[in-house]
Amino acid sequence: MRVTFTFNLRKSEDDEKQAERFSQEYVDRVVSALEELGHHVSPVEVSGSPGEVVDKLIDSRPDLIFNLAEGVGGKRRESYYPAIYELLGIPYTGGTPGLLHVGLDKRLSGKLLAVRGIKVPQGALITLEEPDIPDDMEYPVFIKPNYEGSSMGITQESVAETPEEAKKVVKKLLNEYSEGVIVEQYIEGRELTVPMLQAFSGYLLEIVEYKFEGKEHGIFDYDTKASGGKDESLNTICPPELTPEERRDVLTLADRAFNVMKIPDFARADIRLTKDGTPYLIEVNPLPGLRPVSPLITGAEAKGLSYNDVIDLIIKSAKERYGIKVD
Ligand SMILES: Nc1ncnc2c1ncn2[C@@H]1O[C@H](COP(=O)(O)OP(=O)(O)OP(=O)(O)O)[C@@H](O)[C@H]1O
Ligand SMILES: [Mg+2]
């Protein structure tokens, strides 16, 4: 099959705002997986002008686009690419423009999930136009940018114990991330994530737990995530020790979230589990990372799948969705 692999390359390692973009090493890993699976691969960097991107996509004559492009800026950044593929009539892996747009808006997706009875932290969107934190919030609260990924803007200061502290953090964060920040219930508890591959028999992969040694708050802050697993304070546990009931409840929550959002091919649900065994959905990721050290790959390996198997299964469900017959 002719597969065009789309991505955005990271230009600076120091710029936190580029954290979602790809290193050359990551690009090479995906390209070699696609080649080892027997595909004719065209890697296409899609950060350039829309006209150039469209030309490159058409020139590569794809049967399928393997889309991992996260975009370069703005609160709808990753949703533009599938819109281009749809306009060109080219099949692609992963979520639609609408899904990726909603996925990038934590407040909106949280509301959609809550309406369907899924337990999410209660909170409010704070913007420059409406900068006041509601009076009825219970403390501590958690404060994070509404439209970012890769833990951008998340530090140990994201947990605020008092309204005064919260005000300060919101002000600082809105300065950096002016599109909006969320102030929500802080879910004290264990950090879990559930990856999913639609074409995998059983569909949900193994739960992955992260533990953060010696940190004031057990949260996945930017510094820890950006270390790519090299931070010694980070412990990855897969499968985690859970009671049968906890395991069932965590998997059920993830499954329901994926179904409500109708996410195709692959996804990940980030969950916090409180001491009393209640899981809260923190967010769903309709375009989760596939770095060799990433929760989706860790959860897949625990189910006996290799890196190439993951890439193959993502292609398999997309092919089935579109009825593509070429191998
Ligand atoms: N309400 C909350 N209570 C406790 N911790 C939270 C809360 N919201 C976020 N966190 C912590 O912050 C981390 C990052 O938050 P979140 O998953 O929403 O952001 P992200 O930047 O989109 O992450 P990703 O890299 O998965 O895209 C979570 O993994 C969790 O540790
Ligand atoms: Mg997350």
Q: What is the mean pLDDT of residues 245-255?
A: 98
Topology of the domain covering 122-185: Dna Ligase; domain 1 (3.30.1490)
Q: Find the 127 Cα to ligand 1 centroid distance in Å.
A: 19
Number of neighbours of residue 1 by Cβ within 10 angstroms: 18
**What CATH architecture does domain 2-95 belong to?**
3-Layer(aba) Sandwich (3.40)
What are the residue ranges spanned by the domains of the chain?
2-95, 122-185, 188-318
Residue ranges with CB less than 5 Å from ion ligand 2: 270
Q: How far is CA 173 from the centre of its chain?
A: 20
Q: Which residues form ligand 1's pocket by a CB distance below 6 Å?
A: 106, 121, 142, 144, 148-152, 154, 184-187, 191, 219-220, 270, 272, 282-283, 285
Where do the DSSP E strands lie in the chain?
Answer: 2-7, 40-45, 64-67, 123-126, 141-145, 159-160, 181-185, 190-197, 208-212, 234-237, 266-273, 279-285
Task: For residue 11, name the pLDDT band (cuts at 50, 70, 90).
Answer: confident
Predicted pLDDT of residue 250 = 98
Residue-wise pLDDT tens digits, 287-296: 999 999 999 9
Q: What is the mean pLDDT of residues 225-242?
A: 89
Using the predicted structure, report yes or no on whether residue 95 has a pLDDT greater than 90: yes
Topology of the domain covering 188-318: D-amino Acid Aminotransferase; Chain A, domain 1 (3.30.470)
